[in-house]
Amino acid sequence: MMSSQKQILTLASILGFLGVAIGAFGAHALKPLLTENNRLDTFELAVRYHFYHVFALLAVGILAGKITSKYLRTSAICFLTGIFLFSGSLYFLAILNITLFAAATPFGGLFLLAGWGFLFYAVRKEF
């Protein structure tokens, strides 16, 4: 379970690195495939939301150094799960062009929303 500031910031750093790598790979090596699948916009949306929530995870990690809150830890777990389900399902959809992967996307979105909700609650409760 993610509980320490170091763990959350380490995870955010790794996910940030992966966001750059996946985005660059998509923009260059995968562009012909994504264009052929008519999924370039889908891939770009996945990268964009991946990055938005890396920044959110960084904020949670920074806050974890200031407050100890189970809600903050839960927020980090929700952001992590949301990135994997939302962006991950869209990455697979865009690359493999199998619409079954899109079934996970809304669940990822719910986890991202929950991450924001838990972050809100942790901040309101602790400050």
64, 104 Cβ separation under 8 angstroms: no
- Res. 2 pLDDT band, cuts 50 70 90: low
The Cα–Cα gap between 88 and 72 comes to 23
Our count of domains for the chain comes to: 1
Q: Give the domain extent around 32.
A: 5-126
Give the pLDDT confidence of 6-43 residue by residue, as tens digits: 999 999 999 999 999 999 999 999 999 999 999 999 99
52, 78 Cβ separation under 8 angstroms: no
| Paired tokens of 1 | 């379970």
Rg of the chain, C-alpha, whole Å: 15
pTM of the model: 0.95
Q: Which residues contact 35 (CB under 8 A, 6 or more apart)?
A: none
